Amino acid sequence: MNVFWRYFPLAFVVMLSNGFTPQQGRTESPKVTCQIESYPSTKQKVPTTMIQNGTANLVPFIYWVEEVAGEKPLERCKEVSEIIQARYDDKTWSRSFLRTGKSSDNYPIICFVKEPKDKACDTERELIVKLKRGEDAERVLDKMLARSYRTDLKLTGEFRFYYGETHREVYIHVKKFIEEVERSRTERQ
């Protein structure tokens, strides 16, 4: 009998007792990173939150074009990339929406929520940016996602919609948005 087969059962038991499982080598959590990419309209190199999805492609998600509320684009890109990675790790990403709104102290904000009916999003874990008073959160969100420059995206109600009776806020279904960005990039290639 081959030496491999003689010791394989012992090696397998040792691997299991050390907490290794055959699925462990395969990461299910996409990698989220901040890297420098070209903004679609200007080709200017800007910090960009990139998401590695199920097909292992890096997909540009948020372009950090300018300073927001006193934070440099690269700093915020790194911070938000960590927030998004944490959402992937705790399995709440697929249910996430980006939304515009107001903070508890009445500043315009862009944040994550789990459902369109969620009202508040002031915690560090949810907040993407807190804007200056008077800034248009919808315009800033569109610029961050480079929506108007991604002309090949099919802008449907699938991933972008309004919700609310008195203050209609913009919601972006994150997973569907990323899927649409990747689909459009694949079609161009």
Domain ranges across the chain: 27-188
| The predicted structure's pLDDT at residue 149 | 55
3-state secondary structure of 173: strand
| The predicted structure's pLDDT at residue 100 | 87
| The predicted structure's pLDDT at residue 159 | 58
pLDDT truncated to tens, each residue of the chain (189 aa)?
A: 454 444 434 333 333 333 333 334 444 566 899 999 998 888 999 999 998 877 778 888 899 988 877 789 999 999 989 988 888 888 776 678 888 888 888 888 888 887 776 666 756 677 888 888 888 888 888 888 876 555 545 544 555 565 555 557 788 888 788 887 777 777 666
Nearest to 177 by CA among 152, 150, 151, 159: 159
Can you say whether residue 132 is alpha, beta or left, with left for phi > 0 and alpha for psi between -120 and 50 degrees? beta
Say how many Å lie between the first and final Cα of the chain, rounded: 51
The residues, ordered by sequence, that sit 6+ positions from 57 with a Cβ below 8 Å of its Cβ are: 182, 185
112-116, Cβ contacts within 8 angstroms, sequence gap of 24 or more: 112/83, 112/87, 112/174, 113/171, 116/161, 116/163, 116/171
Beta bridge partners of 109: 101, 130
| The predicted structure's pLDDT at residue 26 | 40
| The predicted structure's pLDDT at residue 151 | 52
Look up residue 103 and give its DSSP letter.
-
| The predicted structure's pLDDT at residue 6 | 47
| The predicted structure's pLDDT at residue 70 | 79
Query: What does the block give as tokens for 98?
Result: 């980006």
Predicted TM-score (pTM) of the model is: 0.71
